[in-house]
Structure 1
Amino acid sequence: MTRSKSAARPAPAPARRRIRGLDAEQRSAQRRRQLLDAATELFAEHSFSGTSIEQICQHAYVGTKGFYDHFESKEACYIALLEQITAQIQQRVGEAAAAAEAEGSDWSQRSAVVVSAFVHAIADDPRLAKVTFGEAGGISPVVERQRRGNRRWAAAFLDRQWSGATAGEPDHARMALALATIGGMFELVADWLHHHDDGGAPDAAERLIEDLTVFLTVIDAGRSGAR
């Protein structure tokens, strides 16, 4: 018995429906970006507590169902936004440090490059500084854990950058000093943000770079003196 040609051929895979040139997965990713962009704008302007999920959806032109497809709560949306901004900052600072090290710069030169990269990562778009440093404290225990994790990453990064550790100095002592230094730097950022919350002063970022560089230089001088 001969099979028909139609029976012998496998059924073609169903075509993926495209809307405006995007398939379902691409549209989902686009909605997520729109929601995070809207959250950035609204959290920076109205604060976390002053923004509702409905406002985020309206600003993003995404339905409430679309919001819950990506985030289970407003807090989850904020954490995703914080993770996104943090990854951008870490990448920018890491690349700047690696480039300076490749040029043979010592820590005294490299620190200015690292500080400048960090400040521009949060100050070129003032909304990012507001969301990360003006909002993170006191939202919830989950957000606080995320914030503390970011500080410990920054402290570990600083500890790797510091040169000439005291012979026999315990690792935990160096890490504790790095963590305290990062806390001081972040407090300077928060204070700067309070006084430059419009981001409009043309020299605002440069002033923050100067303040952070001086602070870091003094800490490093103290370490050298102790050695």
Structure 2
Amino acid sequence: MTRSGRTVRGLDAEQRRARRRADLLEAALTLFGRKGFAAVPIEEICQTAYVGTKSFYELFDSKEACYLALFEQLTADLSDRMQVALGEVDSIDGLIEKLAQVLVADLRRPQVLFGQSAGVSPVVERRRRENRRWAAGFVEGVWRHYGVIAPERDVRAIALGTVGALFELIVDWLFDGTGEAEELVARLTAYHRVVRAGLESTVDGVSSDR
């Protein structure tokens, strides 16, 4: 007979562990989003989450590991939302507007994903680069979905450069401090329209107006 272990407030040990982890990540989201990674000690994360330091180290090896777990969680959530949005909108401009709405809904999220992620550590930087490559693949897929490029055309480098520029525009918007979705949409849309015009004016990488 297997013993399930005692429960506390209706939660078993594994559920309590999951709750502590969720509380720590929520506290980290708030603190990293407001202060940045370097300015937040582990003790403050624990105090904000009402979780002991011992419990923190049972879940995360370091503050970097906590940040990386939060980054992974936010990345997965954003990618899921954009995949859903791709099936809901009928234009790239509409997709950009959906992205802006997601980012504006909780400014802590873009702060952690874009505003604070650079320079945290080599490990986080590698994960950030992987995230950009995934986003570039998504952008390339969007271009094919809407007929911007031919199915066989290789534009991986252009997609990666576009993603880098769009991410930097998001960072600039964050540091401007407006928090307005309309402003973010305008910046991202204006840039993407220039890129799209360039893509549509070339055939197999050679200008069509030569």
Aligned pair partner of 2:139 in 141, 150, 158: 158
Offset at 1:114? 1.6
- After superposition, the C-alpha distances for 1:87-126 in whole angstroms (9 at most, x for unaligned) are 11101111010233xxxx3xxx2x1222122222222101
- For the residues of structure 2 that align with 1:122 and 1:94, how far apart are their CA atoms? 15
2:195 aligned with 1:219: yes
Structure 1: which 4+ aligned runs deviate by more than 4 Å?
none
Measured on the aligned residues, the alpha-carbon RMSD in Å equals: 1.5
Task: Provide the residue aligned with 2:77 in structure 1.
Answer: 88
Asked if 2 retains the 8 angstrom alpha-carbon contact of 1:115 and 1:213, the reply is: yes
* Code of the aligned partner of 2:95: V
Offset at 1:180? 0.5
Task: Provide the residue aligned with 1:67 in structure 2.
Answer: 56
Task: Provide the residue aligned with 1:187 in structure 2.
Answer: 168
Closer, same or farther in 2 for the Cα pair 1:88/1:168, shift >3 Å?
A: closer
Percent sequence identity over aligned pairs: 45
Offset at 1:164? 4.5
Moved more, 112-121 or 17-26: 112-121
Task: Provide the residue aligned with 2:130 in structure 1.
Answer: 149
Alignment of 1:1-227 (within 5 A): 12-100=1-89, 105=90, 109=91, 111-162=92-143, 163-166=147-150, 169=153, 171=154, 174-196=155-177, 199=179, 204-227=180-203
Closer, same or farther in 2 for the Cα pair 1:168/1:157, shift >3 Å?
A: closer
* Code of the aligned partner of 1:30: R
Higher Cα radius of gyration? 1
- For the residues of structure 2 that align with 1:161 and 1:44, how far apart are their CA atoms? 29
Unmatched segments (≥5 aa) in structure 2: 204-210
- For the residues of structure 1 that align with 2:114 and 2:151, how far apart are their CA atoms? 35
Equivalenced residue count is 200
- For the residues of structure 2 that align with 1:157 and 1:191, how far apart are their CA atoms? 22
Unmatched segments (≥5 aa) in structure 1: 1-11
Offset at 1:15? 4.5
TM-score, normalized by length of structure 1?
0.84
Asked if 1 retains the 8 angstrom alpha-carbon contact of 2:31 and 2:45, the reply is: yes
Task: Provide the residue aligned with 2:208 in structure 1.
Answer: none
* Code of the aligned partner of 2:22: R
Asked if 1 retains the 8 angstrom alpha-carbon contact of 2:148 and 2:199, the reply is: no
Offset at 1:59? 0.6
Asked if 2 retains the 8 angstrom alpha-carbon contact of 1:155 and 1:175, the reply is: yes
Asked if 2 retains the 8 angstrom alpha-carbon contact of 1:57 and 1:64, the reply is: yes
Give the match's secondary structure for 2:87.
Answer: helix
Offset at 1:166? 4.9
Give the match's secondary structure for 2:118.
Answer: coil
TM-score, normalized by length of structure 2?
0.90
